[in-house]
Structure 1
Amino acid sequence: MRGSWVALPAVAVAVAAVLGAGYEAGTTGGTTRWVWGGAASVGAAALVLWWLLVPATRWLSGERRPLTRAERAALTVPQRLEAVNQARSALMQSVTGLVVIVGVVFTAAGLVYTSKTLDVSRQGQDTDRYAKAVEELGSEKVEVRLGGIYALQRLADDSARDRATIVRVLAAYARTHAQDPAAGTDRTRLAIDTDAALTVGSGLASKGGSGYFDLTAIDLHHRALTFHALAFTQLAGANLADADLAGADLSGALMNNANLTRAALTGAHLGGAYLGSANLTGAYLAEADLSRAFLPGAKLTDAFLTRANLNGARLKDADLRRTDLTGADLRGADLTLEDAVRRGARVDR
């Protein structure tokens, strides 16, 4: 029996070979690897069955060593017939078990192959959808462009790996078409497709994994963007002069060097936004949330920050000449009332 137990390491090696071959076959999909994987599976299954039906069975039955030639010669005819029948039965069970195991292995391999084939097919469909949607963005008809934007939104929801690319495409579209004339006579409104690109793109970017919605240097002056959700958007160097951003969500937005001259930001959410060196001359920020906002070197001349929340804001070197800070919450800000007055701001005494 001692020699029979040597089969244990061989069984382990065979099983490891099956797993390795199956993995390689599933990874590369090569026919040769599938054949080797199948052969290894059959060999391992046969080895396991032999071990179970011969050494393990003898051990469990109390037989610690194989019968000698003299002991086998001493067997009676009925005993010999019974041994032959038992051997036949064991052989049939082995064959049946081997067929079942091989069938299970190849069924599993087939399922893996089918899954990978379907995945490749789905990726091809996603590529076709993406190409068609981008093509629609170049249409002369606004309804077709809208269809392309919402098709990209659906694709981004279905395919996480394409989301970052789609966000960049929508950002580029918004920057390019920001000053397109809107339908009708209202020149402050965004064109409907540009508005959709802003809304969809910023919404996808906010889901994470896509980076900032990059609207660097976009020209949105005089545009109405009330209650728009543009949180964590890249607006560095953007032209937002005279824009209506009342109630807009600009939390965490990067707006360094942005032009916000006379912009309407009543009740806007700018918590954690970065406004370094931004021009906010004459901007209306009444009741705006600027908690933990960074405004180093920002120009706030003649700006209105009445009842604004500046809790924890950073205003180092900000230009506060004639800035109205009446009723503003300056708790935790790096600005005292005395310092604000010394810089020329108007505050409650």
Structure 2
Amino acid sequence: MTRFIAVTSGKGGVGKSNFVLNVAIALAAMESNVLILDADLGLANLDVLLGLRPQRTLEDVVLGHASLGDIIVKTDYRVGLIPGSSGTQDMADLDKRQVGNLLGAVREITHDTDFLLIDTASGISSSVVSFLMAAPEVVVGVNDEPTSLTDAYALIKVLKRNGYEGRVSMFASQAKNSAAGHTIYKKISSAAQKFLDIQVEFLGSVYADDKLPRAVKDQVPAIVRYPTSDIARCYRVVALTMLGQKSVSADIEKLWTRLVAMIMKAGRPKAMKAVSFNGEVSARSMEKTLQDILEEQRKTRILLERLLEALETGGLASRVHKGYTA
């Protein structure tokens, strides 16, 4: 059974696309059949990281100009790339037959696929969250910056409030070492467990390594360009952890229907309206929706600051107590 895994983050700059690419290559090296989908609409860059220039994208499939098999780019690393799309105005006129054709193609292509890793946009926009709600597994990238921590927690909170029932995992990005990465994880997992009653699984840490920007400049994946580097080992550990997880059943029709909706929305230059995360239009103005999001992030930041203060105070008290009893 194919595992559909959406990789996202509360904010940009955590190495999400590099994570998708390098972990996919690690999984392929472990005898898994892997596809990667660039769904970061408008900022699709997996092809750039690979030094490729796809002639067709997912948009061509949705519009009926090509089959899904036609657009998949075979890389040199046993990983297939499904190029993303920024959307066009023509996509506003899709009918059920076209959507149905895409779903049929997806089932055919993924029949022998073990993993489909989906690189999504960052943040908590309505279209992105709606798509994540349909994904059976969501992986959140987080680094130790306060904004990254609060935005990641806000994203998980939005998923929980909207009834998300899939698996939520995370990776610690740009960590100094394993201990630092685990500290980042504990900050998120403790808050999620205590205040949201949701378990966040830990895939591992991706260390800060100057070899990553070098690899990006060379347009060669870090795990290939520097196979013995610390960051390459990190990606392999994450891949092994993923292989050890159980599969989560997926509603393929819902997942791809919302992906198509996200592409369509990206190509529609119309007046903005507030949209709920289940895709229904609400009566509130977009201004009110943005105010709600900012207020939610403010509350989340305060909540995490209090939690971190409590954890640090508790850790200090524990050390003092141990020193006294010793």
Q: Which TM-score band applies after superposition, normalised by the shorter structure?
A: under 0.3
When Rg is computed on C-alpha atoms for both structures, the one with the higher figure is 1
TM-score by length of 2: 0.25
Identify the structure with bigger relative contact order (alpha carbons < 8 Å, sequence gap 6+).
Answer: 2
